[in-house]
């Protein structure tokens, strides 16, 4: 992955406005956060292969960055974004902490993300 | 060499290496073949290598290759990747999973099974795996049931369960255990630093500890 460049991301967001996109979005502190520090409240979520359509979307901030996609009936929001990479038509955006661990994933794709055992055959 | 099989069941690539690499290699060298059933590819891990060399979508491919290499280093003859998704084991049908474990145990007839200890396994996938393993073992007649060695590492393990029932001295395998851990490179970058800082990890390199879970 490489550090986020706003114009590259914004251009992808603009190009895909109004078209259905599959998303993988996720936040995580790792499964062991509370094991290592009992005072830490661990929380996280992921949503894989939901389909969204947005009318407008913006990436902003000075790094780490934020993205807001204005959906037909709501919003998709992510913060703490630092790096990106294209994989074919997929735009993979991630936020890594100072030790390089994933804290958030925010991924968009015109086709479903790989799912299940067959994805690594 | 005797011809006893060891069956190891964990949800993530690297669970086997951290908890049991020495015991696995010792078994392979002195007792017989080892089967490792690894339920997921750890595709939701948050370590992407240090420095970062992969991403969320590529990680399962990387971890599969790492697992194959680690299995080679640990002399695991039969590596089975069951293709569940990381973080979701507890939401699968436990009876179905236990049934698959039971069928496998009946087919392979292992003398020992290694997995996690229910209630003391920290990660929800670990707990779900442990519950299904216990359920499968309970469905097998006591005289046919393999010995169950359960890994417990919750912070309250020693307070609640006392000292481990089986302490396997694996100091003869320490270097090769480190090599097995290093095969899981995306997850164990910075391992040497971690060994320096983490007394639990240092102990794991010389002693692998197990409990007998009441069946």
- Count of CB atoms situated within 10 Å of the CB of B49: 17
Give the residue from B56, B123, B128, B185 with the most A CB atoms within 10 Å of its CB, the best one to mutate.
Answer: B56
Q: What is the pLDDT of residues A6-60, one digit of tens each?
A: 999 999 999 999 999 999 999 999 888 888 888 889 999 999 999 999 999 999 9
Q: Are B147 and B154 in contact (CB under 8 A)?
A: no
Residue A75 half-sphere exposure toward CB, CA atoms < 13 A: 7
Contacts of A120 in chain B (CB under 8 A): 41, 60-61, 64
Residue B211, pLDDT score: 98
Residue B85 belongs to a domain: yes
Confidence check: pLDDT of B2 > 80: no
**Beta carbons of A117 and B155 less than 8 Å apart:** no
* B50 in A contact zone (CB under 8 Å): yes
Please give, rounded to a whole number of angstroms, the shortest distance from the CA of A58 to a CA of chain B. 23
Q: What is the CATH number of the domain that holds B36?
A: 3.40.50.10320
Mean pLDDT of B105-126: 97
Q: Which domain holds residue B167?
A: 6-210
- Count of CB atoms situated within 10 Å of the CB of B193: 10
Mean pLDDT of A62-89: 97
Burial class (CB in 10 A: 0-12, 13-18, 19+), B80: middle
Q: What is the pLDDT of residues B147-193, one digit of tens each?
A: 999 999 999 999 999 999 999 999 999 999 999 999 999 999 888 88
Residue B30 belongs to a domain: yes
Percent of chain A residues past pLDDT 90, beyond the cut: 83
Q: How far apart are CA B16 and CA B181, in angstroms?
A: 9
Q: How far apart are CA A63 and CA A66, in angstroms?
A: 8
Nearest Cα to Cα of residue B157 among A40, A35, A34, A33 = A35
Among the partner residues B46, B50, B155, nearest to A28 by beta-carbon distance: B46
Number of structural domains found in chain B: 1
Residue B59, pLDDT score: 96
Residue B1 belongs to a domain: no
SS3 content of chain A, % helix, strand, coil (to 5): 15, 50, 35
**Beta carbons of A120 and B82 less than 8 Å apart:** no
Those residues of chain A whose CB sits closer than 8 Å to some CB in chain B are 1, 24, 26, 28, 30-32, 35, 38, 46, 83, 85, 87, 90, 92, 94, 96, 99-103, 105, 107, 113-120
**Beta carbons of B122 and A35 less than 8 Å apart:** yes
Domains of chain A: 1-24+50-104 (2.70.180.10)
Q: How far apart are CA A36 and CA A18, in angstroms?
A: 44
How much is the ipTM here? Answer: 0.89
Among the partner residues A30, A94, A119, nearest to B60 by beta-carbon distance: A119
User: Residue ranges of the alpha helices (H) in B74-154?
Assistant: 94-108, 124-138
- Count of CB atoms situated within 10 Å of the CB of B163: 9
């Amino acid at each position: 992955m490489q550090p986020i460049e706003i114009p590259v991301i914004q251009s992808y967001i603009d190009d895909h406005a109004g078209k259905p996109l599959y998303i993988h979005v996720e936040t995580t502190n790792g499964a062991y956060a509370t094991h290592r520090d009992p005072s830490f409240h661990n929380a996280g979520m992921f949503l894989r292969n939901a389909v969204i359509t947005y009318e407008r979307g913006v990436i902003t901030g000075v790094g780490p960055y934020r993205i807001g996609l204005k959906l037909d009936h709501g919003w998709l929001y992510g913060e703490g974004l630092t790096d990106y990479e294209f994989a074919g038509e997929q735009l993979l955006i991630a936020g890594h902490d100072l030790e390089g661990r994933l804290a958030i994933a925010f991924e968009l794709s015109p086709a479903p993300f790989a799912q299940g055992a067959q994805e690594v055959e | 060499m005797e011809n006893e099989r060891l069956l190891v069941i964990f949800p993530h690539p690297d669970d086997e290496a951290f908890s049991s690499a020495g015991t696995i290699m010792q078994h392979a060298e002195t007792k017989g073949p080892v089967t490792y059933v690894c339920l997921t590819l750890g595709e939701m891990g948050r370590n992407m290598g240090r420095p970062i060399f992969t991403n969320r979508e590529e990680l399962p491919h990387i971890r599969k290759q790492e697992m194959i290499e680690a299995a080679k280093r640990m002399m695991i003859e039969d590596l089975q990747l069951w293709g569940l998704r990381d973080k979701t084991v507890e939401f699968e049908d436990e009876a179905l999973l236990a049934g698959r474990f039971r069928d496998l145990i009946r087919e392979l007839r292992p003398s020992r099974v290694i997995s996690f200890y229910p209630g003391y396994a920290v990660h929800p996938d670990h707990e779900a795996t442990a519950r299904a393993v216990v359920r499968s073992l309970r469905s097998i007649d006591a005289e046919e049931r393999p010995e169950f060695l359960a890994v417990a590492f919750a912070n309250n393990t020693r307070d609640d369960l006392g000292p481990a029932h089986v302490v396997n001295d694996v100091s003869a395998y320490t270097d090769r255990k480190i090599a097995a851990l290093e095969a899981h490179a995306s997850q164990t970058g910075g391992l040497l630093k971690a060994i320096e800082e983490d007394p639990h990890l240092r102990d794991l390199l010389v002693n692998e500890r197990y409990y007998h879970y009441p069946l």
